[in-house]
Amino acid sequence: MGDEKIFSKEELWQAALGEIELNISKANFLTWLKNTSIDSIKEGVVVISVPNHFSKEWLENKYHKFIFQALKKLISEINKIDYIINANAENKNTAAPEKEKTKKINETALLKEQLSLAEIEINPETNLNQRYMFDTFIVGSSNELAHAAALSVAKNPGQTYNPLFIYGGVGLGKTHLLQAIGNEAQKKEKLRVKYVTSEKFTEEVVTAIQNHTMNQLKNNYRKTDILIVDDIQFLVGREKTQEEFFHLFNTLYEKNKQIILSSDRPPKSIATLEDRLRSRFSGGMIADIGYPDFETRLAILKTKVAAHNFKINENILIYIANAITQNIREIEGCLTRLIAFTRLTKKEPTEEEAIRILNEVIKTPKKIFNIKQIIKTVANFYDIEEKDLIAKNRQKEIVKPRQVAMYLLREDLKSSFPYIGKKFGNRDHTTVIYACEKINDLIKTNETIKQEIGIIRERLNN
């Protein structure tokens, strides 16, 4: 290949990296491309040397397209890229014999061990699980409002926010917070706490009707100081249950007893909820929990590893935090698998083993998007020109979309403030900080902007 003479391998890779850097976030760039180099170029095949299995996995699955395009731009004859792990690079914990040994650990053994790790200790009186405490709840921007409200309610039940309504997607910590309130409130004085899922509540009401023990059930519930009903969306469409719940709610509320509820969506979006219940719920404090950002995900992983007294290579934790973005339960699932593996083999997993064990859980790496896609999608969504979005003008109708785009670059790509400023008409980084804060605040108070951002993210992911 003639072009080879023009570039040395080093120069070629430096030039390619410059191009790739434009397409992926700074954090990802540093994580996955550091200590990489071109090992060889022969007959259109470039072999890229990477330091460890994680880089290989990520480069192959997520960044291959960018790498290929960048190199092809520089040398058009390139038609294939291979990745090899450089045995001399810093990570040497992936020695070959280990591979044979771990193959013998099968899926069933892993699952059994995982189950044994999930010890359940639930108090039958209160239905509270000691596992869910405030100390083990990691606070980040996605849950700080809900956390603050929960803490305040736990300290002064019945006196601050009543009812407290927490909503958010699956696996984001609603049950954890609800239970933590109950556990915390019980620490000080012997308050009567009752935690119940709405399915359980429904079941109890149905049984009580059948057995003519409704009065007993009512009396029992009326004695509580703090009533916690989880996943209230499952109460919908059950008239008798809603009726009973409404009366119970009113009785407790009038006695200044604390009521705490959770749902996967805000009260106004629970279509078949009786109006009178909906307006009751809306009368208190409503706080949502969103998707945790990268830092929060990593912090959760680190805390759980420490809590289990385990040691797991940080690269593995970063790998998980990058791969699972929308469900903390799944993040924990990854960790339990690794811990189960460690217990079975009596040793820490190597990076290669970790990838293999987690393959079941982390099926395909989530799609990534880059700065160009964000700009394009935001411009599209608000029906404006891309060039206007990034230009340095102050046209009123462009301001909000531009702030949204900056916010997404910051939140989802972890781009630095100065970098974002540079991309948007060389603005000062303080302008970017202001924009991100503005949107961050708006999201908490303005349902429209929250939904808009949700839709933009959905489009980016599809």
Q: How far is the CB of 193 from Mg ion (least distance, A)?
A: 17
Residues 274-313 that bind ligand ADP (CB under 6 A): 300
Point out which span in 35-43, 155-163, 168-176, 314-322 binds ligand ADP (CB under 6 A): 168-176
Point out which span in 134-142, 335-343, 362-370, 428-436 binds ligand ADP (CB under 6 A): 134-142
Contacts of 77 (CB under 8 A, 6+ apart): 1, 3, 44
Give, as one character, the DSSP assignment of residue 63. Answer: I
Q: State the Cα–Cα distance between residues 190 and 120, nearest whole angstrom.
A: 23
Residue 288 CB neighbour total at 10 angstroms = 22
Which of 259, 289 has the CB closer to ligand ADP?
289
Is residue 86 involved in binding Mg ion (CB under 5 A)? no
Among 23, 143, 162, 197, binds ligand ADP (CB under 6 A): 143
CA distance readout (Å), 8 to 4, 15, 37, 85, 145: 7, 11, 12, 21, 54
Which of 60, 264 has the CB closer to ligand ADP?
264
Q: How far is the CB of 121 from Mg ion (least distance, A)?
A: 17
Residue 306 CB neighbour total at 10 angstroms = 10
Q: State the Cα–Cα distance between residues 462 and 368, nearest whole angstrom.
A: 10
- Up-side HSE of residue 394: CA atoms within 13 Å toward CB? 2
386 binds, among ligand ADP, Mg ion, none (CB under 5 to 8 A by kind): none
Q: Is 130 within 8 Å of 183 (Cβ atoms)?
A: yes
Q: State the number of binding residues for ligand ADP (CB under 6 A).
A: 16
Q: How far is the CB of 228 from Mg ion (least distance, A)?
A: 11
DSSP for 365-434 reads PPP---HHHHHHHHHHHTT--HHHHHSS---HHHHHHHHHHHHHHHHHH---HHHHHHHTTT--HHHHHH
* Integer Rg of the chain from CA: 26
Among 175, 202, 377, 431, binds ligand ADP (CB under 6 A): 175
Residues 175-204 that bind Mg ion (CB under 5 A): 175
Q: How far is the CB of 162 from Mg ion (least distance, A)?
A: 21
Which of 242, 262 has the CB closer to Mg ion?
262
Using CB under 5 A as the criterion, which residues of the chain lie in contact with Mg ion when the complex forms?
A: 174-175
Using CB under 6 A as the criterion, which residues of the chain lie in contact with ligand ADP when the complex forms?
A: 136-138, 143, 168, 170-176, 300, 328-329, 332
